[in-house]
Amino acid sequence: MEGLQRMVVSIDYIEENLDGELVIERIAAVACMSKFHFQRMFNMLTGYTVSEYIRNRRITVAAQELINSDSKVIDVAIKYGYESPEAFTKAFGKIHGISPSNVKKDSQSLKAYPKLSFQIQLKGDVEMDYKIVEKEAFTVVGKSIRTSTVGGENNRNIAAYWSESNANGFTKELDKNCGPLGILGICLAFDQEQENLVYLIGAEKNSDKLPPDWEECEIPAANWAVFPVHGAMPHAIQKVWERVFSEWFPSTGYEHAGGPEMEVYLSDKDPSSEDYYSEVWIPIKK
């Protein structure tokens, strides 16, 4: 589990530099990973984006410093990377619910985000099937939403988007235009800090006669790691996503290549049935 051990090293590096400059490229380099792969793996393993975790830790440590010292708010704000007391006060209040100037008066209401730790375990009880597929670039069509990854908002919004698309007949219309891969759920694009993403419900384009409100985009050529999923949605596919990042990536030497990720729904059975079949597709590189 060398990959998880490197994540531990990166957490230590963050902790040692909370009052200094923390650049994601450098943190990823400490973990011997590409920037995209490190951020994606960190988010999948912890539920936090890297930037979100750093903000939470800095505000936690800053609160303790204000309580246990005579430091001025402006000095603590600058020490932990805030350009102005106003920006620090806003971030502090968002987490703790009070202003930093009042922290000594009402310390009981403070929240704490402790340093993360990873319990590294070797799991070999259940094999993980996969195959590597080389696929040329292809075009997909469908409709998308933009959502935040902070606080797991994307999971709630995407689930609601699927429910809405099934209820209003959109997925049925897609089914009429499906290519060989069936209906797709695609994480198309992340922003620089991976705190926002574009998610598309779509299918491979196989016709030029499409509704005017459908979007069209190209998925680049890639080598894909393809993982079979057997079981009811969404639990079965969520479990596979978890195992990909906690077991498969750390043990194989592959990295996320940084492109779109896909959930492939090939079965025409009820998604809530235990024999439902789907796949997870992730672009990879050695």
Q: What is the C-alpha separation between 197 and 177, in angstroms, rounded? A: 25
Q: What is the C-alpha separation between 242 and 248, in angstroms, rounded? A: 9
- Residue bearing the bigger pLDDT, 270 or 283: 283
Domains of the chain, first to last: 2-109 (1.10.10.60), 131-285 (3.20.80.10)
Res 125 pLDDT > 60: no
pLDDT tens across 16-45, in order?
999 999 999 999 999 999 999 999 999 999
Q: What is the mean pLDDT of residues 175-188?
A: 89
pLDDT tens across 213-266, in order?
999 999 999 999 999 999 998 899 989 999 999 889 988 889 999 999 999 998
**Confidence at residue 123, expressed as pLDDT on a 0 to 100 scale:** 55
Mean pLDDT value across the chain: 90
pTM of the model: 0.88
**Confidence at residue 187, expressed as pLDDT on a 0 to 100 scale:** 96
Res 1 pLDDT > 60: no
- Residue bearing the bigger pLDDT, 270 or 54: 54
pLDDT tens across 84-121, in order?
889 999 999 988 888 898 886 665 568 889 999 876 55
Res 270 pLDDT > 90: no
